[in-house]
Structure 1
Amino acid sequence: MTDTNLVDNLARLSFLVQNTLAELAGRHDLSLIQTRLLGVLRDHEPTMQELGRHLGLDKSSISGLVDRAQRRGLVTRTAGETDRRVTRVSITADGLALATEVAGVFAERIAEFTAGLSPAERRTLAELAGRIVS
Structure 2
Amino acid sequence: MDQPDLGLVDGLAQLSFLVQGELARVAAGHDLSVIQLRLLGILRDRTPGMRDLARHLELDKSSTTGLVTRAERRGLVRRDPSPHDGRGVLVSLTPAGRALAAEGEAEVGRRLLALAAGLTEPQRSRLAQLASLVVATAGQVG
Whether 1:6 aligns to 2:8 is yes
1:74 maps to 76
- Equivalent pairs: percent with the same residue? 53
Offset at residue 4 of structure 1 (A) = 6.4
Offset at residue 82 of structure 1 (A) = 2.3
Q: Provide the C-alpha distance between the structure 1 equivalents of 2:85 and 2:66, rounded to a whole number of angstroms.
A: 22
The one-letter code sitting in structure 2 at the alignment partner of 1:35 is: L
RMSD: 1.3
Q: Provide the C-alpha distance between the structure 1 equivalents of 2:84 and 2:65, rounded to a whole number of angstroms.
A: 21
2:64 maps to 62
For 1:129, which of 124, 127, 131 is the aligned residue? 131
Q: Provide the C-alpha distance between the structure 1 equivalents of 2:84 and 2:19, rounded to a whole number of angstroms.
A: 40
The TM-score, its normalising length taken from structure 1, stands at: 0.94
Q: Provide the C-alpha distance between the structure 2 equivalents of 1:28 and 1:85, rounded to a whole number of angstroms.
A: 33
| Deviating 4+ runs (over 2 angstroms) | none
The one-letter code sitting in structure 2 at the alignment partner of 1:99 is: A
> CA 1:119/1:4 → structure 2, altered by over 3 Å: closer, same or farther?
closer
Deviations 1:19-62 (A, max 9, x none): 11011100111000000000000011011000000100001000
- Count of equivalent residues: 132
The TM-score, its normalising length taken from structure 2, stands at: 0.89
Deviations 1:88-111 (A, max 9, x none): 100111011111111111111112
* Runs of at least 5 residues in structure 2 that lack an aligned partner in the other structure: 137-142
1:115 maps to 117
